[in-house]
Amino acid sequence: MTLKLIHLGNPVLRQKSRPVPEPEIKTPQFQKFLDDMIDTMHAAEGVGIAAVQIGVPKAVFIIEVKSNRRYPDEAPIPLKIFINPEVELLKIGEEMDWEGCLSVPGLRGQVPRAKSLKIRALDRAGQRVELEVSGFLARVIQHEWGHLQGRVYLDSMRGLETLTFLDEFARFWS
Ligand code: NI
């Protein structure tokens, strides 16, 4: 089932998400919620979505890159679910690249992000997962993790000079 995305200006988007109690993870209600998040991400053609973006400030985000019209150049990333994530940025430098957000429709901007990071979280079975990642996946994780802190990518831009509507992006920047 597809859920309604909330947009910048909705105060919930600025809340810090709360950890999910571990016993809750295996409940049918929570598993259904995860499936609804996946449906919502697919319907919106996103590469990631945090629970807070559908108005539920729980510390969960999911990421998946298939062939994606919004990000045609990126390699596929199989579906990943991160519950109660902890992120440690690795100090090997930053990269600047474009981001957009389903909660800030129609815009893109350049955001500096750490090139690589470690993430520890629980998966949908409640199992501990730990990954070290770099590149686009590291960028998407930092973007979604920001949502759990009540941040959006605009907060992480160095300035707003590259903020671009999608029609102008297609004309001038891609
Ligand atoms: Ni976003």
State in Å: Cα 173 to ligand 1 middle: 20
Q: Indicate the pLDDT class of residue 118, thresholds 50, 70 and 90.
A: very high
pLDDT (mean) for 153-161: 97
Q: Summarize pLDDT for 34-53 with one digit per residue, the tens.
A: 999 999 999 999 999 999 99
Which one-letter amino acid corresponds to residue 73?
D
Annotated active-site residue in 99, 132, 144, 168:
144
State in Å: Cα 156 to ligand 1 middle: 12
Which one-letter amino acid corresponds to residue 131?
L
State in Å: Cα 45 to ligand 1 middle: 12
State in Å: Cα 147 to ligand 1 middle: 7
State in Å: Cα 49 to ligand 1 middle: 6
CB-based contact 110:100 (threshold 8 Å) = no
> Which domains can be identified in the chain, with CATH numbers?
11-173 (3.90.45.10)
Which one-letter amino acid corresponds to residue 128?
R
Whether 68 has a pLDDT exceeding 70, the answer reads no
Whole-number pLDDT of residue 154: 98
Share of residues in the chain with pLDDT > 90 (%):
90
Alpha-carbon torsion angle 9, 94, 60, 63, nearest 10: 100
Whole-number pLDDT of residue 100: 97
Question: Which residues neighbour ligand 1 (ion) by CB within 5 Å?
Answer: 101
pLDDT higher for 171 or 67?
Answer: 171
Whole-number pLDDT of residue 91: 84
State in Å: Cα 53 to ligand 1 middle: 8
pLDDT (mean) for 108-136: 97
Q: Indicate the pLDDT class of residue 138, thresholds 50, 70 and 90.
A: very high
**Average pLDDT for the chain:** 95
Distance CA 91, CA 103 (A): 29
Q: Is 45 one of the annotated active-site residues of the chain?
A: no
Whether 112 has a pLDDT exceeding 90, the answer reads yes
pLDDT (mean) for 112-137: 97
